Amino acid sequence: MYAAWAQLYIAIHARQDEARDPSKGTCMFQIILTGLLPPILLVGLGGAVRRRLSENAWAGLDRLNFEILFPALIFVTAAARPIDPASLTLIGPLVWAILALGLGLGWLARPLGPARFLDFAGAWQTAWRFNTALGFVVVQALPSTDPALFSIIIGMAIPVANIFAVAGLSRGEGLRLGPALRKLALNPFLLASLGGVAVGVSGLTIPQPVLAPVSLLGQAAIPVALISIGATLNWRAMAKLDRFSACLVTTKLVALPAAVSLVALAVGAGPGLAPVLVVFAALPTASAAHVLAAGFGADRQLAATLIAQGTILAALTLPAWMAVAEMLARQ
């Protein structure tokens, strides 16, 4: 799906028989480390070259990502596979409930966050956003999870995650209802999300000559975002989890997958759906949070710090939730 991750996916497919054999099983920590190492290295590269570009140049790069590159990636991701309309009534509400829970739990950190609501909203979105690329790495590696089902979950999640984020950031700008709704409706992230889902639901196949340039733009989005995060990041602050950061990171990496696991155990969710939902809920937040925060003029440094902290800590939490997902698959 993302050319930058293609070799990684191929390697995982090549080892998939080994991963399904308990006697040869790949260590979950190694799988997660393999998925997290490329973004961590790109963030480090951004930190190393931050002084080679001016502040205006980095801001312009974020604007390019906000207006063109990330919307292209979102559209291609959402439109990549056909979406069964029946799944909207079954999977959609479950996925949207997970996102809404992240939104609600993240709101509890409001008293601990920045005084300016716009800055809080830029950080708040990290409580429900998700790293799609890492999610595909994990799903491909686990025997019990269905990549096709995960693709549907992503298609259902992207528009709602963006509606939540854009609505919060629009409110933070202090806009009246009319201008806020207009800005929400015209947001490139939202338009790309809805357009991609519409293509997926319709079953249309976009001609390759038309889709190819959009895909090329999308392939640049994640590397550019990660390098910009590294250039923006306060590296000293990253090593310190204050109460506000800890609340948001814990919500994303611990509270959401724990809630999904408990509900799955309580209601006896099917072995096909429950593991994929646990993996989805356990993913660290996405680099899109930094791009969107920068696009609205929120505190870019705070968003970048939260993304980096969550990504690094996910190396510890994700293996545990992968084990839980496998356990639920055997229920």
Q: What is the pLDDT of residues 78-108, one digit of tens each?
A: 787 777 777 778 888 999 999 999 999 999 9
pLDDT in tens, 112-159: 999 999 999 999 999 999 988 788 778 877 887 777 788 778 878 888
How many CB atoms are closer than 10 A to CB 8? 18
Average pLDDT, the chain: 82
Q: How many CA atoms lie within 13 A of 275 on its CB side?
A: 24
pLDDT of residue 230: 84
More confident residue, 95 or 173: 95
pLDDT of residue 27: 65
Per-residue pLDDT averaged across 19-39, rounded?
61
pLDDT in tens, 219-265: 998 888 889 888 887 777 777 788 999 999 999 999 999 999 999 88
Pair 144, 326: CB distance under 8 Å: yes
Into which CATH architecture does domain 3-7+26-329 fall? Answer: Up-down Bundle (1.20)
pLDDT of residue 175: 63
- Token pair belonging to 16: 């998939």
pLDDT above 70 for 200: yes
Q: How many CA atoms lie within 13 A of 224 on its CB side?
A: 22
Report pTM.
Answer: 0.77
pLDDT above 60 for 7: no
Q: Where are the beta strands (DSSP E) in 78-201?
A: none
